[in-house]
Amino acid sequence: MGRVLGVLGGMGPAATTAFMTRVQALTPATRDEDHLHMLVDLNPHVPNRHTEPEAAGRMLGEMAARLRDMGAEALAMPCNTAHAHAGTIRAASGLPFIDMIAETADAAAAGGARRIGVLATPGGEALYAEALAKRGQETVRLEGADRDAVMAAIFAVKAGDVGSGPRGEMRRLAGALVAAGAEAVIAGCTEVPLLIGAGDVAVPLVDSAEVLAAACVKACA
């Protein structure tokens, strides 16, 4: 029997449920008992990670400790921006934390690209820029109004809109990164892969949710 995986979720709910589906799909199982035991705190009331970071950190620490007390043996969080609080989560729980940013940066670097575009919130982009720099990669960033356009598309998903409008906009933004020289693109917000897939981008798309799901299966199966 593998380790029990605790998931800090709800940021947003659709991204969390999609992540759980990815974990299930990636698990090499032939029967129910082969799948991961997941304890999921799907909490959409975590304070805004952009405007209330201290309050968000406190709640994430509380969630991590609660998952530990429920029996979790390792933790993961399908929200890139909230990884700014990875240290708080580790300290509050004392459990191994499967780092989405580190795993995704490793996957992007392993693909051989030197210049990597990032589709993410400003906070998520900053985390990836730091992680990629440590691996010798250059981050390609969106400029001007396109930065606001990423956030608008992300919030469209949070509002339940995954239609042609936000899908087309996210494809356009990925294309802008490629035009700026990106040799690969990281879907660095868990709402992004709900709008675009590998076939929508002219260079390799590194899906942070897929990378995290695979890392969870490897660590806990």
**Contacts of residue 24, Cβ cutoff 8 Å, sequence gap at least 6:** 35, 36
d(CA 81, CA 49): 7
- Take residue 35 and report the two structure tokens written for it: 């799948």
- Strands 38-42, 5-9: pairing kind: parallel
Q: What share of the chain is helix, strand, coil (3-state, %, to 5)?
A: 55, 15, 30
**Contacts of residue 198, Cβ cutoff 8 Å, sequence gap at least 6:** 204, 205, 207
Chain centre to alpha carbon of residue 114: 21
Q: Is 216 a catalytic residue?
A: no
Q: Is 189 a catalytic residue?
A: yes
Catalytic residue among 77, 105, 170, 189: 189
Catalytic residue among 79, 109, 215, 217: 79
- Are 115 and 137 contacting, i.e. CB atoms less than 8 angstroms apart? yes
Instruction: Find residue 146's DSSP bridge partners.
Output: none
d(CA 94, CA 20): 23
Active site residue ranges = 79, 189
